[in-house]
Amino acid sequence: MILNNKSVAVAGVACLLAARLLAQAPQAMPVASPANDTARLLAGLLPSADSALVELAQDRAWQQHAKFFDTAWANLERNQLVKVRAWAKTQVPDAFAAKGTVFYMFSGPDFLYADTFFPQARTYVLCGIEPIGPLPDAVRLAPHELGSELRALRDSLDSVLSFSFFITKEMKTDLRNHSLSGTLPLLYIFLARSGKTLCDVSYVSLDANGVLTARQDATRSATSPAPGVRISFVAEGSNTPRTLYYFSTDISDAGLRQSGFLKFCQTLAPANSCVKSASYLMHESGFSTIRGFLLENTRTLVQDDSGIPCAYFTPDAWQMRVFGSYPGPIPLFRNYRQPLLAEYYRTTHPPPLDFGIGYRHHAGESTLMVATHKPHHKPAVPPRALPVEEPPPQAVAVPVGATTSAARP
């Protein structure tokens, strides 16, 4: 057959269109795991019609649980999350849209705020000292246990729904001595209520070199200093696989010397990070390693004043912006007041926040800081532990056009 130039051009266009259609063809949707039905049930949402959990959803205790969550979540979304989401989309748009990794140290099971600040991330790494617990199995609950177990879950979530943070001491009590115990049920609830579909849940452990191993026997590691859980999920309207890791581990300097947690995190760096309600631990010399890791491996850090002291964000490496107000720490943490940060707020006249977050959880009282690593900056020396008697560097990055008086000791 003889082809003229016109027929060749038409054939070329057809091939190009066919290739483009193939490239745009939807990928196979990941299959929801049985854990997804459990997550929905615990979150007060109906499981799938063919699930063995459907019968539990007929129980009056579950229906009361579902009614509580419908109301509590609607209030949380309207009064808090929609405002946090709008703030993040406007004030940290690159991090808000980033598809990389998020580090949320000292988080406990608070996936909720990691997802709200950074909703497009493909990998989330959370950690805390709270135990992981067994894989939630609502099918095994006796009928008389359902009401008390669901009530215990609501009690565990009360502070984060009301104040935006978990109270660690109370959570340790709430997460024990129940059939649905540990952080996993809370992670399930946050994922389900955030519109996520769970595809796989597995225990993992880290060796001293940070090498992650999945435990095929569905049991938790009794020996790893950083036992963890890996949850694969997809967001509503998406078929892109995402991963949430939660590690139950001590990230003090002493604890990190015994585990490969930071070596594992290094394989996922650089990342965007958030820190809130962190008990001011990174103000202490005993947490200098995790502080240095975040300074070295974070692109954009969103934190309240309980995170890294502002003096560590030197103007050669960081652009600092602040929002809300700085009334100082609550009385429990009054020794961690930062005069440098107070002066910074006084002289830069930061924009207000229309939501509350952190220990100062009332709107109008909250402190929020955004530190963005300057492009192409490499620290002259790696972050190191500061001796107790050595003060942190007395400098802070100042926004363009702001007075520089806040940068002085």
Q: Which helix (H) or strand (E) holds 207?
A: none
The mean per-residue pLDDT over the stretch 132-152 comes to 87
CA angle 135, 140, 141 (to 5 degrees): 105
| Confidence category of residue 58, pLDDT binned at 50, 70, 90 | very high
Task: Kindly tell me if the per-residue pLDDT of 319 is higher than 80.
Answer: yes
**pLDDT above 90 coverage of the chain, percent:** 67
C-alpha span between 290 and 256 (Å, rounded): 8
Q: Identify which of 272, 312, 276 has the alpha carbon closest to the alpha carbon of residue 291.
A: 312
The mean per-residue pLDDT over the stretch 74-88 comes to 95
| DSSP letter string, 292-353 | HHHHHHEEEEEE-TTSS-GGGS-TTTEEEEEEE------GGGGGG--HHHHHHHHHH-PPP-
CA angle 98, 188, 128 (to 5 degrees): 70
Backbone φ/ψ region at 146: left (φ over 0), alpha (ψ -120 to 50), beta: alpha
C-alpha span between 362 and 183 (Å, rounded): 26
**pLDDT above 70 coverage of the chain, percent:** 78
| DSSP letter string, 36-70 | HHHHHHHTT----TT-TTTTGGGSHHHHHHHHHHH
Place of tokens 């009590």: 173
Q: Identify which of 150, 158, 159, 201 has the alpha carbon closest to the alpha carbon of residue 178.
A: 150
Task: Kindly tell me if the per-residue pLDDT of 147 is higher than 50.
Answer: yes
Q: Residue type for 190, please? A: F
Backbone φ/ψ region at 164: left (φ over 0), alpha (ψ -120 to 50), beta: left
Whole-number pLDDT of residue 215: 78
C-alpha span between 331 and 87 (Å, rounded): 28
Whole-number pLDDT of residue 355: 95
Give the pair of three-digit tokens for residue 383. Answer: 């972050």
Whole-number pLDDT of residue 140: 83
C-alpha span between 97 and 229 (Å, rounded): 25
Q: Across the beta sheet with 123-128, what order do the strands follow?
A: 212-214, 197-206, 228-234, 242-248, 123-128, 101-104, 271-275, 298-303, 367-373, 318-324
Express each pLDDT in 372-407 by its tens digit. 999 876 543 344 443 333 344 444 443 333 333 333
Q: Identify which of 297, 298, 312, 276 has the alpha carbon closest to the alpha carbon of residue 386.
A: 312
Whole-number pLDDT of residue 321: 97
Taken in order 75, 78, 80, 84, the sign of the CA dihedral is: positive
C-alpha span between 244 and 204 (Å, rounded): 12
Whole-number pLDDT of residue 218: 53
Whole-number pLDDT of residue 238: 93
| DSSP letter string, 366-392 | -EEEEEEEPTT---SS---PPPTTSPP
Instruction: Tell which wins on pLDDT, 201 or 406.
Output: 201
Q: Residue type for 176, please? A: R
- Residue 275, helix vs strand vs coil: strand
**Torsion, CA 153, CA 249, CA 260, CA 287, rounded to 10:** 130
- Residue 114, helix vs strand vs coil: helix
Express each pLDDT in 124-136 by its tens digit. 999 999 999 999 9
The mean per-residue pLDDT over the stretch 179-201 comes to 94
- The answer to whether 106 touches 281, Cβ cutoff 8 Å, is yes
| Confidence category of residue 409, pLDDT binned at 50, 70, 90 | very low
Chain center to CA of 368: 16
Place of tokens 């849940």: 201
Give the pair of three-digit tokens for residue 79. Answer: 């009064």
